Structure 1
Amino acid sequence: MKRKNLLFLAIAFLATFSLASCLNDDYESKAKLPSAEELKAASKLIQGSYQGKIYQYGLNDRTGKSEKKDSVNSSWEIKDDSTLVIRNFPSKMLAANITDSVLRKTIAALPDQEIKCAIGVYNVKPILFLAAPYAINLGKMTYKGQVHDISIHFRFDPSFTYGGYDTESKTTACYLKGVGVFVDGVFDDLATSPLTTFLIYSKPKL
């Protein structure tokens, strides 16, 4: 547990620093940024299948601080240099912050979901990548007495929705942020997306 916490404190710091450096047009050391060959090699290294846990975090109503709400076993695969697929993502986690009770119960009762993310390695020492999950289309559901097309969207935040790979332990992890609900393709304020975050953390790569 201590190793995991230390690893992600380091990743969080380095991710923020590295991303800020990459995005700053006035950054004076652009020559030190990873080459295309280094990025390609890092992308290839992290490809493979993983097993581990998904941790759900949310705000404590009393303290106002983030705390672990739930966890579940899962598996995921980095299939190529741009795709991460998370399997067995519980629908009850996706529904946790939906304020409409009927819709929350309907979504929570659905089978586990498969979440596909677009990823891109931007740092090689350590290996860090951005992660942007695609929308999850849940189909037609009853909401406010009418049938609508419902989809779930994660919030993309480059300063937070990223992952890392530890070359020594051959473990990977990734942060995902927030959940938003779209009704007929339009965002509806049914979920407090900034308040829910997810961490996937693996055992050593298979």
Structure 2
Amino acid sequence: MKKNKLLQLLFVLLTAVSLTSCLGDGEDSVRRQLPTQAEIDAAFNVMKGNYQGKLICYAFDEQYGGWKKDDSIASNWEITSDTTLLIKHFPTKFLAKSVTNVSLKQAIEALPAQDLNFKISIRQARPSATGFYIVPLLADLGNLTYDGASHQIGVRFIWNESTIGKFDPSTKRMGIRLIENGIYVDKVLKDDVYRAGNIYILHTN
């Protein structure tokens, strides 16, 4: 079982190398490598649907000096017909891990699990693998009361070349990496209530 988990994690981490190689060799190379719209549509039609697996949270460890596996949970998600990645019942205890304000942390942890939405953009469509970027949407947690006042709270996920996913059409295996790195309080990014951020790995069983 441990060996399978390590292989699944390696599958996701290597995606960064494969996508960067595909997309990083200059503008002409990018034009050659990007799939056509027909290829994107065909790849998406195979990929869309419901999945189950595990969501792993890597939180920053000051003693370690980097991100370490902190927690994991069984997870379900869906790739919908409008190119949305819907992660169902995302635990709020994960979203609160990097919050430094104790009152705000407790308010987030007290919320029920959230359904989070992301957009996907296919950038590699081959018979053996579909590679895609994860384009984040703000995780709006609504109005929460902390430190004696009500505030609109949102959790920020970022997009960069390492927020990616890979799908194997033959096995239906999928691996996704997400990066959370900020808290909005009343639509203002607040550094004084947050530190470091979390990295999430989502993978099929």
Q: Give the TM-score of the pair, scaled to structure 2.
A: 0.88
Report the equivalent of 1:11.
Answer: 15
Give a deviation string over 1:134-189, Cα, whole Å, max 9, x none. Answer: 112222222333221111121222x1111110223211121110231111111111
Greater shift, 168-177 or 42-51, is seen at 168-177
CA displacement at 1:130 relative to structure 2 = 0.9
The one-character-per-residue Cα deviations of 1:6-50 (angstroms, maximum 9, x if unpaired) are 4224312112222324xx43x347334322211111111110100
Q: Structure 2: how far apart are the matches of 1:56 and 1:146? A: 30
Unpaired segments of 5 or more residues in structure 2? none
Residue 173 of structure 2, aligned match among 153, 171, 174: 171
Q: Which residue of 2 aligns with 1:129?
A: 132
Q: Does the 8 A contact of 1:44 with 1:81 survive in 2?
A: no
The 8 Å contact of residues 47 and 81 in structure 1, kept in 2 or not, is answered as no
Q: Which amino acid is 1:181 matched to? A: I
Partner of 1:61: 62
Judged with a 3 Å threshold, the aligned counterparts in structure 2 of structure 1 residues 105 and 44 are, in CA distance, closer, same or farther, namely same
Equivalent positions of 1:37-56 (< 5 A) are 37-56=38-57
Q: After TM superposition, give the deviation of residue 71 of structure 1 in Å.
A: 0.3
Are the aligned partners of 1:94 and 1:179 in contact in 2 as well (CA < 8 Å)?
no
Alpha-carbon separation, structure 2, partners of 1:138 and 1:81: 23
Identity within the alignment, %: 31
Contact 1:81 1:120 in 2 (8 A): no
1:96 partner SS: coil
- Counterpart for residue 199 of structure 1: 201
Looking at structure 2, the residues matched to 2 and 99 of structure 1 have their Cα atoms a distance apart, in angstroms, of 31
Q: How many residues align?
A: 198
Over 3 Å counting, the alpha-carbon distance change for 1:133 and 1:31 in structure 2 is closer
User: 1:43-76 CA distances to partner (integer Å, 9 max, x unpaired)?
Assistant: 1111010001110002222221321100011100
Partner residue of 1:186 out of 180, 185, 188: 188
Distance 1:56 1:155 in 2: 16
Paired residues for 1:85-104 under 5 Å:
85-104=86-105
Tell which deviates more after alignment, 89-98 or 8-17.
Answer: 8-17
Q: Which amino acid aligns with 2:167?
A: Y
Which aligned runs of 4 or more in structure 1 are off by greater than 6 angstroms? none
3-state SS of paired residue (2:19)? helix
Paired amino acid for 1:37: A
Indicate the RMSD between aligned Cα atoms, in angstroms. 1.8
Q: What letter corresponds to residue 3 of structure 1 in structure 2?
A: L
Mapped contact 2:79–2:85 kept (Cα < 8 A): yes
C-alpha contact (below 8 Å) 2:22/2:33 kept by paired residues: no
The gaps in structure 1 that reach 5 residues or longer are none
TM-score by length of 1: 0.88
